[in-house]
Amino acid sequence: MKAAYLLAGVLLYAAPLFSQQTATLPASADPTVLKGELKWFSLTENRTEVAKEMGLPVMAAPVGPELEAWQFQLGPTEEEGFSHQFVFSKATGTLVSVTRNYEPEREVDSFFPAAETKAYFYPNAAKPEYRVRVRRLSGARLLIAMGVSKPGESTGQILLIRETELIRFYPWLAAQLK
């Protein structure tokens, strides 16, 4: 009898994982471009607003003493990977960043118009070990395509982040943007 209760508990605990992996993507899961303007998150949303748009995360965990991350497995993901990560400020409860992981990688040029996008390199352009494309958006937000530097390249990850928070995650990029 105890084994049946244990099995039922495990299945109830795991049910959100299975339902989230097979669920269709919410409309707000991916950025869109409308009349040349990127539409996604404003980074003023709180946990309740994100949960209303995306559902509940499969995992929530602290990211140091000041931040909390919510991770989602929506649509195709690697076995233990996450399709989305939302990072919130613990102090204000508002959204700091949104990361969208793509499996398989995809071209995201429609989010990065050439006139509004610049490539940056770590540690520098002369000896690039890593590259990103950055687009400045309204509301002091940055949209970043990871691992790419020019149109036509595919990426596995884009990041929407408040520019003021960039130094916590990518200090080299924050310094180059000054």
118-158 pLDDT, tens digit each: 999 999 999 999 999 999 999 999 999 999 999 999 999 99
DSSP bridge pairs for 86 = 70, 98
Give the model's pLDDT for residue 27: 87
Angle at CA of residue 168, ends 165 and 171, nearest 5°: 105
Domain count, the chain: 1
Give the model's pLDDT for residue 76: 61
**Whole-number Å distance between alpha carbons of 44 and 118:** 25
Region 57-86: what's the mean pLDDT?
Answer: 88
6-56 pLDDT, tens digit each: 333 333 344 444 434 445 778 889 999 998 899 999 999 999 999 999 999
Region 75-103: what's the mean pLDDT?
Answer: 89
**Whole-number Å distance between alpha carbons of 27 and 80:** 23
Region 82-94: what's the mean pLDDT?
Answer: 96
Give the model's pLDDT for residue 4: 38
Give the model's pLDDT for residue 74: 87
Instruction: Give residue 88's domain range.
Output: 2-177
Give the model's pLDDT for residue 81: 81
